[in-house]
Chain A
Amino acid sequence: MASEVKTGDQRGFSLSQLPLTERHVGFLSILPVILLYLVISIIPVGYAVYTSLHEVSLAAQTWPFVGLDNYVEVFQIDRFWDSLIRGVVFMVGSTILQLIVGLWMAMTLNRINRAQRLITAVVFTSYLIPTIVVTLLATFMLSPSFGVIQDIGANWLGLWSANDAPLGQRSLAMPLLILIGTWKFSVFITIFTLAQLRSIPSRFYEAARVCGANKWEMFRDVTLPRIQGVILVAVLLRSIFMFNKFDLIWTLTQGGPGSATTTLPVLAYIEGFQNFNLGLANALAVVMFVFLAIGGIAYFKAFNPSSEVET
């Protein structure tokens, strides 16, 4: 594409000068996307499947074939099942909380009259703010000696004692992770819903008002039917993203204390990059991919991409 572009600049390039049909140019235009995808998704997944069937070590030249041994190991270790359960708890808890907060924020932003732009900006900031900043800030504000939230939790609410590190406690680590994730990711559902809310014509509400509907009836009969589809998609996407969430958990707790917040992505990372058990780690990655593929099929059932684009 790039070379054609150059000659075209100089002397009025036209398609007929080259033995290319429209189909060829069409394929050429999406070729970069396909290539990028091959390199970043298809080949890595294939590679993961390949390595999961071998005994891998970075030092050795050849990797002996071990068949399904790695998979057998995955399903036998307790760490796998425990991590799977923790991952599901994290996913479901996060998604429900984010849905509630996200919808509430969207409704608020859609209806406020004063300072709408400012408050929208503040809410949207949490979408763009780097995850690492969120986790470092959370660590800072929850630290025992000088953390403001630790202080409030200890002295005002009595949730923990003055010298405790809340993130270091087994019973508190997971709920806190879910709360911190909600602070950062709820806005995803907000933007999704708000975009849809803004596209509802105001005459629908005027008509409802003329017919004597109150606020609740307007929400139930005008708003809800129009945002149902979007909510379903947002929930599915959030579930997939939260199941996959690695950076937030890793940077906050490294899967600890003990293994209280070790979900599957964290376990795969630990096996791969700390224990250098790359065969097992890749087998874990493949198992996760299968779970996600099931999620993906559900996603396609709920949200048919071909109906969205007029091909």
Chain B
Amino acid sequence: MSTDTDESGLDPDSIRGIFGLDFRTADTLYQLLLSLSAAFFFVLIMFPIYWMLQSSLKTRTGREAVSWLPTGETFTVEYYTDLVGSSVGTFIFNSVVVTLGTIVLVVIVSLIAGYGLARLEFGHKENFARFLLFGYMFSPIVLGLPLYLIWRNLGLLGTRVGLIVALTAISMPFSVWLMWKYIQTIPEAMEESAWVAGASRWRGFRDVVIPQTQPAIIASALFAFALAWNDYTFASILLPEQQQMTFAPGLLQLINTGYGAPWGQVMAVSMLTTIPPLLFAYFLQSYLLKGFQIRSL
């Protein structure tokens, strides 16, 4: 590439590819392994999802033996249409409410805290950082047991708000740190010029800082989504009533009660709850990476 590099000092025989192969062979081999790996991972992850989809489109008889596609006779969409108005529909609705509530609360709280940490001078910031990270040490089950008793005393047990508060606190360390570090990268001069123009600190925060934190907002919303949508432990401890149940404990209950597990219905719900992750993973993958790039974890 660069002509001024002196390669004459190197013995041509000592420059060999992997396993002593020449570069062209090594490169072909490398490309081949790369493609094989990519194909392997694609199949490894897509196969269960494909299996879930095709099983949700088959009647009971169609599922009784292992088959790779629904046939004309066994094809059905009844498991999807039946969900409307059923108890499982309520479970999904509850999950959506809890997830959205968690995302909104996480973004608001972490924006404010991140701004304060990045821009305002006050003591004990390092201690606060340690305090935040310490949150990772708590197992959901370690917290869940006492939380059950505390939530019962506060009257939050069995309310969706109670679960939203719990999940927000769990996703807090990540998003606060993300905002903190992200706002540090925004030049303070932009805000200062707004102040010179007569804007208050709040106006500067709202009109200058918040619009620029959009990537960080999307990243922390995505992580809050992953946490709240995934949650089984807290939901099963803090929402014991059928009425408020989210889909994770709801589906498990569906499988474990009565005989003849309703697999068609379960597969249909599973498929529906997998669609948002698939879409987010495709369209927002760069934000997911950004969250980790900033080393907020």
Contact = CB atoms under 8 A, between A and B. Distances in A.
Interface stretch (B71-79, B80-88, B210-218, B247-255): B247-255
A75 to B, nearest CB: 18
B189 interface: no
A22 B137 CA distance: 32
A27 to B, nearest CB: 6
B138 A45 contact: yes
Bin the interface of chain A by size.
35 or more
Chain B interface secondary structure, helix, strand, loop or mixed? Answer: helix
Contact of B280 (A32, A36, A128, A282): A128
A310 interface: yes
A117 B177 CA distance: 27
Contacts of A25: 116, 120, 201
A243 B138 CA distance: 11
A134 B116 CA distance: 39
Given A33-B113, A119-B42, A309-B181, A247 B120 contact: no
A184 to B, nearest CB: 10
A123 interface: yes
A122 interface: yes
A118 B201 CA distance: 43
A45 B18 contact: no
Interface of A: 1, 4-5, 8, 12-15, 22-23, 25-30, 32-33, 36-37, 39-41, 43-45, 47-48, 51, 104-105, 107-109, 111-112, 115, 117-134, 136-141, 145-148, 151, 183, 191-192, 194-196, 198-199, 206, 209-210, 212, 214-216, 233, 237, 240, 243-244, 246-247, 250-251, 265, 268-269, 272-273, 278, 281-282, 285, 288-289, 292-293, 295-296, 299-300, 305-306, 308-311
Interface of B: 1-2, 5, 7, 10, 14-18, 23, 26-27, 30, 34-35, 37-38, 41-42, 44-46, 48-49, 51-52, 55, 63-66, 109-110, 112-113, 115-117, 120-123, 125-126, 128-143, 145-147, 149-150, 165-166, 168-170, 172, 176-177, 180-181, 184, 198, 200-203, 225-226, 229-233, 237, 247-249, 251-252, 255, 263, 266-267, 270, 273-274, 276-278, 280-282, 285, 288-290, 292-293, 295, 297
18 contacts: A8-B203, A14-B201, A30-B128, A37-B172, A40-B165, A41-B134, A41-B135, A109-B38, A115-B38, A122-B45, A130-B277, A132-B252, A141-B51, A195-B293, A212-B14, A250-B232, A285-B145, A295-B137
